[in-house]
Amino acid sequence: MDKFDVLKKYFGYAAFREGQEILIDSIIKGRDVLGIMPTGAGKSICYQVPALLLSGITIVISPLISLMKDQVQTLNQAGIHAAYINSSLSESQISKALRLAAAGQYKIIYAAPERLETYEFLSFAKQAEISMLTVDEAHCISQWGQDFRPSYLKIVQFIRQLEKRPVISAFTATATENVKEDILCVLGLTEPEILVTGFDRKNLYFAVEKPKRKDTYVIKYVKEHVSESGIIYCATRKNVDKVYEKLCQEGISAARYHAGLSGGERRQNQEDFIYDTCPVMVATNAFGMGIDKSNVRYVLHYNMPQSLENYYQEAGRAGRDGGRAECILLYSPQDVVVNRFLLDSKEQNTEYTAEENEAVRGRDEERLRKMTYYCMTTGCLRTYILHYFGEKGSLPCGNCLNCIREYEETDLTETAKHILSCVAEVRERYGVNVIAGMLAGDDRAKLREYGLFAYRTYGILKPLKETEIKEIIQQMVIENLLFQTNDKYALLKIGEEAGKIMEDDTRFIMKKTKEEPEKEKRTSAGKGSSANRRRSDILNSRGLELFEQLRDLRTTIAKEQNMPPYIIFADKTLIDMCIKVPMSKKEMLKVVGVGESKFDRYGERFLDAIGEYTGGVREKFFFGEEEEL
């Protein structure tokens, strides 16, 4: 068997995704690798496929106990012998698992890092043939990151104790240079193949909405997406409870999650969500670490998070199966006030000096500001995110609200020049309130006191109102014509791009929303790839009906097996069944996500369901041309 056979037979996929092959080939040749890929890119395949091709056992180190179980269930379903060893098992279960492992029962073993130094585990590892050691969530080894886990340092000692050094593969979604260097250095990777794939998640649609009433928006949205799975993130427990109750009143089956609930209740609610008993989850950011639910179709943010790092991570829980999903942030100016309050009341780290605490605070401010600009920008939202994470490229994406909405454009180059002159004239010593007041020719005592009436630019934008000027300044900050300092004074300074406006003939264009985008526009945006289309755009009404039948069957099987439905088959597999309408084993094996083992387990039942629905007569259940999912 080669890597393609493995991919098809066990995972039911016809082709590798970007980057997967390079890493797999290197591992098979015995070369260490570091894969830096965003959530949902398919990191698991990168070590699971070679694990099956190498002669010995692969040990996967992962910090997330809940994820291990999920991964192992998925592998077992695919017909791969795998097990996990962590503190959720009893001592005797662990001993049994290790006995079976020593007897060569498992190809892949997941373990928490703490396991590595136990006597039992070490003695197993020393006498077994360990072909590869995989470090998942490898950024946990870095003291630079937020997720540093001291136990990850034990990995290195563990490797040293093995007789033969296995090939080491490390994976993470965190891409900062410091973290990368740490992983390479601490893990001691030798001449590794390093692969960084883009952070873009093409199947995610991004939008910032500013509804008058967020509750009304949420209820309408959830009702329009009934039977789809989604997460609604709120900033506070109070909001979670409020939104949760509203949804329940509307008869929507929702679950909630926050640190104020008992452990038992949290576990139950999480299960209800994962097993699709409650398709909607309302939660604080405490929810999500280690959740691998792949068919989340939308993530709504009821409040703006504190940083784009947080936002992208939370929003990124949508669409892990590669199908179209929506990430919508509901913004109100109040969100900024609440976040600033949270920052103000954040406890200072007593191990830091006052100066260091000041620096941390400055960084938090900066992050919050950049998050706020995301909500303000009229440019492509995806481009904004990617730039923030240091990726180049600036083409409008065509799959975010700002790219498809229509704007009224006004050339404000001259106004922008006046604003820049004003900031320069006062030698960058004031914040946005003073500057806007000054330009508007405001008669405030404070401005008089500062002696600003005497400046040339005082009142130069007079017919404009102060609020209008503030809006323009805001947009200039977003476009780097101006920048704001990170201290509490938030002084306005001349930005990097200002030269372009002052010297070259670049124009400064302000865009204002014209109207809400029409539905048609949204759905046609990002066309071309089915990943960007909703189920209802792909399947016609008969097809959707078949999909519902297949989904019911999946739910029944999931209940029988006590397994989350998405581990049985992903949504995209069910959709592909509706497109290909398989009538035989051979045809069923062509469906994306149906490998041999999955077929042996469930194939006949799904064939029966399809046969029953169609009466054995092939129909076309989808719009448009046949295409690969």
Q: List contacts with ligand ADP (CB under 6 A).
A: 13, 16-17, 20, 37, 39-45, 294, 320-322, 570
Confirm if 194 and 391 have CB atoms less than 8 A apart: no
Binding mask 402-421 for Zn ion (x = CB under 5 A): -x------------------
In the complex, the smallest distance separating the C-beta of residue 290 from ligand ADP, rounded to whole angstroms, is 12
* Closer CB to ligand ADP, 44 or 339, in the complex: 44
Confirm if 441 and 462 have CB atoms less than 8 A apart: yes
Contact partner, 397, from Zn ion, ligand ADP, none, Cβ < 5-8 Å per class? Zn ion
In the complex, the smallest distance separating the C-beta of residue 208 from ligand ADP, rounded to whole angstroms, is 25
Question: Does residue 85 touch Zn ion according to CB under 5 A?
Answer: no
* CB atoms inside a 10 Å sphere around CB 264: 8
In the complex, the smallest distance separating the C-beta of residue 292 from ligand ADP, rounded to whole angstroms, is 6
Contact partner, 332, from Zn ion, ligand ADP, none, Cβ < 5-8 Å per class? none
* CB atoms inside a 10 Å sphere around CB 14: 12
By CB under 5 A, the residues from 274 to 333 that bind Zn ion are none
| Of the candidates 404, 36, 420, 46, the residue with the CA atom closest to the CA atom of residue 199 | 36
Contact partner, 403, from ligand ADP, Zn ion, none, Cβ < 5-8 Å per class? Zn ion
Contact partner, 483, from Zn ion, ligand ADP, none, Cβ < 5-8 Å per class? none
* Closer CB to ligand ADP, 321 or 466, in the complex: 321
Per-residue H/E/C for 177-220? HHHHHHHHHHHCCCCCEEEECCCCCCCEEEEEECCCCHHHHHHH
| Alpha carbon distance 306, 371 (integer Å) | 7
Contact partner, 130, from ligand ADP, Zn ion, none, Cβ < 5-8 Å per class? none
* Closer CB to Zn ion, 80 or 397, in the complex: 397
Confirm if 8 and 1 have CB atoms less than 8 A apart: no
Binder among 400, 460, 575, 629 for Zn ion (CB under 5 A): 400
Contact partner, 41, from ligand ADP, Zn ion, none, Cβ < 5-8 Å per class? ligand ADP
Contact partner, 367, from ligand ADP, Zn ion, none, Cβ < 5-8 Å per class? none
In the complex, the smallest distance separating the C-beta of residue 543 from ligand ADP, rounded to whole angstroms, is 21
| Alpha carbon distance 247, 260 (integer Å) | 19
* Closer CB to ligand ADP, 320 or 324, in the complex: 320
Collect all residues with Cβ–Cβ distance below 8 Å to 319 and sequence separation of at least 6: 40, 201, 203, 204, 296, 297, 325
* CB atoms inside a 10 Å sphere around CB 548: 13
Put the strands of the sheet holding 296-301 in their side by side order: 204-209, 325-330, 296-301, 229-233, 280-283, 254-257
Question: Does residue 201 touch Zn ion according to CB under 5 A?
Answer: no
Structure tokens at 167: 């090939």
Collect all residues with Cβ–Cβ distance below 8 Å to 488 and sequence separation of at least 6: none
Binder among 283, 380, 478, 570 for Zn ion (CB under 5 A): 380
Write out the residues near Zn ion by the rule CB under 5 A.
380, 382, 397, 400, 403
